[in-house]
Amino acid sequence: MDWVTAAVNNSTAVEIRPGEDSREPFILYDGKSRRLDPEKLGLYVQECLENGIYRVETEQGDCYTDLEDTPEDTLQRERFAELQSFLQSNLIYDMGAEQVELTPDIMASFLRTDAQGLPVCDQGELLIRAGRIREWVEELARQYDTVDTTRDFQSTEGRVVQVTYDTYGTQLDVEAEVEFLTEALLYEREEPLVHTPAYLQEGFCRGLDDIGDTYIEVDMGQQHMYYYQDGECLISVDVVTGNARRRWDTPEGINYVYNKQKNRILRGEGYATPVDYWMPVVGNVGIHDADWRREFGGEIYQRNGSHDCINTPPEVMAQLYELVEIGTPVITFY
């Protein structure tokens, strides 16, 4: 039975190996459990031969045994338990409309590894790749940041127009998130930790689409304004924007209502005009009532437009003022 003994003794003990599944980046190979027992196997083979049985089923012969762990085997099991605890971090980034889970393969990418791709420990502690944490946070920012970018916008009239984020937009605080994530990776947790990231600038709506479904749309080519709330168009009205002939054009872009005031006097070179409702969106450009106008829309803006504001019928402006919250995105385009 020397061949049986040799086959058993050449088996691998307990070791951590790289996995092939992203959900299980590492596996524990247990070479100590269900090992063929040479003595039991030899006796069973002899019994089978004596009974004229020449096909040996080791399961039926109870030919297996579990070997005792060596100190090194025990250490490997402890390391694997620590590794699994780290990989199953239960850490989720709440990005608003989406949630980004730090899956085991993402967590594994934060670990320092050796030439075989196995985690490296120092005095029993897993070592973290600080540079990789920053790379991951920066990639998250690239996906969600919109400040100073351009995007396609589906207009109510059906056109897809390109608009640039001006004063509105989203920008993650990368430094704060690198610090948070580096700290968070050190702690075990039983319940999922849902984390809302820090922002240098936060949009009215959080998510890959930070305009969302509540916004003001001003189609200056059509001289028409829409207000959408939770995807429903509550206001649709003709307006008058900046005087194109005098180059007082209302600026294009994505901005937002940054204040609301009643009974404001709008002042500029050669004029001081009282309005009942004032909602500035970028600099001194805003949306307000214009009771001196009897008509809105059409081509009025080309010859008798505003000083760059969005003139709105008084009765509609009163309604808009009550509906709109500070922070609401305003998209203006031709």
Q: If 0-12 CB within 10 Å is exposed, 13-18 middle and 19+ buried, where does residue 113 land?
A: middle
What pLDDT score was predicted for residue 13? 80
Per-residue pLDDT tens over the stretch 298-323: 999 999 999 999 999 999 999 999 99
Q: Percentages helix, strand, coil for the chain, rounded to the nearest 5?
A: 25, 35, 40
What pLDDT score was predicted for residue 237? 98
DSSP, residue by residue, 265-327 = EEEETTEEEEEEEEEEEETTEEEEE-TT-S--STTHHHHH-BSSSEEE-HHHHHHHHHHPPTT
Per-residue pLDDT tens over the stretch 55-88: 888 888 888 888 888 889 998 999 999 999 999 8
What pLDDT score was predicted for residue 30? 86
The rounded distance, in Å, linking the Cα atoms of 9 and 235 is 81
For the chain, the structural domain boundaries read 1-68, 215-333
Predicted model pTM: 0.83
* pLDDT beyond 50 at 7: no
Per-residue pLDDT tens over the stretch 101-141: 999 999 999 999 998 888 988 887 889 999 999 999 999 99
Instruction: Indicate the class that CATH gives domain 215-333.
Output: mainly beta
- For residue 107, give both structure tokens: 């967590």
Instruction: Give just the sign of the alpha carbon dihedral 251, 257, 263, 267.
Output: negative
Backbone angles phi, psi at 87, to 5 degrees: -65, -35
